[in-house]
Amino acid sequence: MNQMTSLETPLLTAARLLTHWQGHRDLTRRTIEAFSEEGFEQHHASGMRSFQEMTLEILGMMDHQLKWLRSGQPQWDGAQPGQQLPSRAEILRRWDEQTAELAQVWPTVSTELWLTPVDTGWGRMSAYKSVEYLIENEIHHRAQGYVYLRELGTEPPSFYERSDVTEE
């Protein structure tokens, strides 16, 4: 009888990946909410961006990913130089819209799209690898936001308080 080794056991389904990502998106949303408007827009470390600017990057990359998942092809519009930075409330509104759209689009993505590498603005990768990168990028920027919150005297949300962390 051919038995799978523990390294061959599939652990992550598309549904679980979505749940994992939504847990991170919820935590990042709570991080955005923890900032005062002024701290969100103006506070930054030397040589770094404000958390407002970092969240705009995350939103832009998510727009790109959603277009890819809907159309089957990566489409990067690029940043719009000189654009007016939206308020924290506007960013949260867009965040919620994207999160809902992600939940709607996700079940329609084919296995082929998930796993087939294509040329993107960041090299050749599959939609799955792109999603992995977006999650990592979000975590990276959220950690920067945690440092900013602590510098501002605000306790950030506990990083382990995510809906996807608790056992089912």
Q: Could you report the per-residue pLDDT of 43-98, keeping only the tens digit for each?
A: 999 999 999 999 999 999 999 999 999 999 987 765 555 667 899 999 999 999 99
**CATH code for the domain of 157:** 1.20.120.450
Average pLDDT (16-38) is: 96
Beta bridge partners of 121: 123
Residue 109 located in a structural domain:
yes
Q: Is residue 17 part of a domain?
A: no
Domain count, the chain: 1
Which pLDDT value is given to residue 109? 96
**Among 44, 36, 8, 25, CA closest to 145:** 44
Residue 168 lies in a domain: yes
pLDDT at 118: 94
**Residue 22 within a domain:** no
- Nearest to 157, CA basis, from 45, 61, 23: 23
Look at residue 6 and tell me if it is in a domain. Answer: no
**Domain for residue 32, yes or no?**
yes
Domain extent, residue 96, equals 27-72+87-168
CA distance 40 to 29: 12
Q: Model confidence at 34, in pLDDT bands (50, 70, 90)?
A: very high
**Residue 2: pLDDT band with limits 50, 70, 90:** low
Mean pLDDT of the chain: 90
Domain contains 9: no
Q: Average of pLDDT values for 114-129?
A: 92
Whether residue 21 is contained in a domain is answered as no
